Structure 1
């Protein structure tokens, strides 16, 4: 009697177990959606269809771009998805068409409204060579609408690793409202004479880590727009390019504060600038605070340390009217190497909103002229600032006036 009861219960339990669905991850190969992979045919629809299936499928899901060369026109990969989603592109090269006329938007590949997104591998080649030297596209008004290689908007808790962005027509990577993001082992590659090709542009996000990455481009390696908060950059190599820049800030009304930026253990080589904070003169009010540069090697860099509250490119502003962006709680520590300009440290703050609580500690920057060799000591210049000086510093730090 008891044996029969045990058997009935066992059969019942087995039946219940077999009725529980097994949740397997969805892996969608773009080849199954018609991708050709000859580098000429537009495989954008295949990538988009694979994304839609993975996004709506079992969680976690993945879009597989197998090794090969693909061409794609502009695509928008949108969420929300049912769960975490990944693009796996190791060994794949995706190319944009070189012709600007084939772009109707300001993005080549746009990813938006996704939580827990991962991108692993791949080379994304924007083929921007014929655009960089166009006078029409790079005048002071930027009269062309230029596509960003990879634009992420509202992509949160993400990991992007082991991929390359090359030859973008405009910025390589633009991040907007992408909280809790991580970039690891990223390569950005464009020649020094490419125009407006910022490596990674950051704006209005809270929480970002960029580590172990190599950025070569024709503009800022990393640039910070308003609303950048709690960002850590470590072990990044920058150059050629324009260095690592906070700003420019204050151009538009109601900009959000920039707060909590740590840039540490980086190497900057052959760039126009090193680490800088820049704001527009005659600006709208704004705030930039808790910004820290530490343990940075400068190798033949122009303007290695720079606060510029008179930033006015292309003569498009009222130079002479003070900036209203308040800069405070900033540190430059353990910055060493060579400067191609005599003024290795320039702290030009606003007469209306002088810089507060700026620390300069253990700086060692020697002059290396453009033609090579030495040429005398470096110097510093200051205005509207009384920096806190710690340790031994070369050049000697100016204390509020100009030296």
Structure 2
């Protein structure tokens, strides 16, 4: 049983339970979600109502107002639908509710507040539509727990599960409860012009990745801006054909490959990652793949090109066969990973760094790294001296 906590306000009467529905000349329905207008009203029923009525060959509209989401959302039946987000979806702060009711992601012990899936889904926030996780409450709460890593029941802001042939464009994600978005069993999806800002107002955010891909393929991340103390974009088990372009990452761990290889005897892969025209600012690492929990498999065929960095706080390229996080329970064995990292090319990286290390490579003796190449790398300290340490 998950431990109850009494932070936040318990939702009151549910008054916003319907949406306005119209039909155009082509017979396509449009549902406009009605907001209750107060945080004591749960707008989740109205949101579900709109998706149920107009989620197949229709259009769902969120008006330029605030919607208070105080309960979980599970919307996985969408087909040929436009989702027009002009306002803000603000998640409730009743931590005990979320710990008890968040939905299973299907990976590790992860859970989520919102599951969305379907085919040919076109989500557009026009640069102003916003998901706000009210994360400041979570950042304060998690600091008081013994396990500050993947705490059971602490939800992701949204999980795209089974999303195919779709586009998510122009949406802002603020102060996520934990990971911003998990993407699982999804294929052929473009995430374009996305802002993720998990900067806490009172406490530093923890374990607030920008995006995590799991068992997914043919993903494009274009024009992302991520402010996060954790991974900006993380590729996990069986992520293939991922492209990241024209993006800017700040204050976090950059692009991560992992966690992977953490489950004993399970075979996992990461293949065909391409990263172009990207900047890191004040990041700890630019590219940290890891593995070492007894799993099998490989990460291969990865290209990073035309990269710009500013004030890097650690090695720009870091490979570790065992990454462990402060506050995570248990002990680890990092000496004999059977997960191999191979065929990695970094071609063109320039900018400033605070670390003398250009690269840090710690590979397994059992499955050594192979074909790792760094070309045209020019990292310099503030005084203009070149960083030149490789470990």
The two structures share one fold, judged by TM-score above 0.5 = yes
Matches within 5 A, 1:303-382: 303-314=315-326, 316-368=330-382, 373=383, 377-382=386-391
Partner of 1:207: 218
Tell me if the contact between 1:249 and 1:286 (Cα under 8 Å) persists in the aligned partners: no
Q: Give the distance between the partners of 1:143 and 1:187, measured in 2 at CA.
A: 25
The secondary structure found in structure 2 opposite 1:329 is: strand
Q: What is the Cα deviation at residue 118 of structure 1?
A: 1.4
1:71 offset after TM fit, Å?
A: 0.3
Give 1:289's aligned residue. Answer: 300
Structure 2 SS opposite 1:116: strand
Q: Which residue of 2 aligns with 1:392?
A: none
Q: Which residue of 1 aligns with 2:32?
A: 29
The answer to whether 1:187 aligns with 2:175 is no
Q: Relative to structure 2, which stretch is displaced further, 102-111 or 41-50?
A: 102-111
Segment of structure 1 superposing worse, 318-327 or 265-274? 318-327
Deviations 1:308-357 (A, max 9, x none): 12323348443452221111111011011122211121122211111111
* Distance (whole Å) between structure 1 residues aligned to residue 207 and residue 242 of structure 2: 22
Deviation at 1:102, TM superposition (A): 2.6
Q: Give the alignment partner of residue 242 of structure 1, picking from 244, 250, 253.
A: 253
Q: Distance in 1 between matches of 2:386 and 2:55?
A: 59
Greater shift in the superposed pair: 189-198 or 217-226: 189-198
Structure 2 Cα separation of the partners of residues 132 and 231 of structure 1:
30
Q: Secondary structure at the match of 1:180?
A: strand
2:21 counterpart residue number: none
- Decide whether the 8 Å contact of 1:149 with 1:170 is kept in 2: yes
Residues 55 and 79 of structure 1 are in contact (CA less than 8 Å); yes or no, is this contact kept in structure 2? no
- What runs of 5+ residues in structure 2 fail to find an aligned partner? 1-23, 103-110
**In structure 2, how many angstroms separate the alpha carbons of the residues matched to 1:37 and 1:110?**
24
* 1:132 paired to 2:139: yes
Write out aligned runs for 1:114-125 (5 A). 114-121=118-125, 122-125=129-132
Deviations along 1:341-400, one digit per CA (max 9) or x if unpaired, are: 1112112221111111122110001134xxxx56x5423334xxxxxxxxxxxxxxxxxx
State how far apart, in whole Å, the 2-side matches of 1:62 and 1:212 are: 25
CA gap 1:363/1:159 in 2 versus in 1, 3 angstroms: same
What is the aligned partner in structure 1 of residue 14 from structure 2? Answer: none
**How far off its partner does 1:138 sit?**
6.6
**Where do residues 255-266 of structure 1 align in structure 2 (5 Å cutoff)?**
255-266=267-278
User: Is the 8 Å Cα contact of residues 123 and 167 (structure 2) preserved in structure 1?
Assistant: yes
Give the number of the structure whose alpha-carbon radius of gyration is greater: 1
3-state SS of paired residue (1:131): helix
Call closer, same or farther: CA 1:154–1:108 in 2, change over 3 Å: same
Alpha-carbon distance in structure 2 between the residues aligned to 1:166 and 1:138: 26
Deviations 1:17-58 (A, max 9, x none): xxxx96421101112xxx3234542111001001000125xx
Cα distance in 2 between the residues matched to 1:215 and 1:352:
35
Q: Work out whether 1:41 is the aligned partner of 2:46.
A: no
Q: CA RMSD in A?
A: 2.1
Q: Residues 274 and 303 of structure 2 are in contact (CA less than 8 Å); yes or no, is this contact kept in structure 1?
A: yes
Q: Alpha-carbon deviations, 1:55-84, whole Å to 9, x = none?
A: 25xx2x111111111101233343434x40
Other-structure match for 1:220? 231
- The number of residue pairs the alignment matches comes to 347
- How far residue 215 of structure 1 moved from its aligned partner, in angstroms, is 0.7
CA contact (8 A) 2:305 2:348 kept: yes
Aligned to 2:10: none
**1-side partners of 2:38 and 2:96: how far apart?**
22
* Deviations 1:68-103, CA, capped at 9 Å, x for gaps: 11101233343434x40121112x011001231231
Q: TM-score, normalised by structure 2?
A: 0.83
Would you tell me which structure has more helix in proportion to its own residues?
1
Which 4+ stretches in 1 moved above 6 angstroms? none
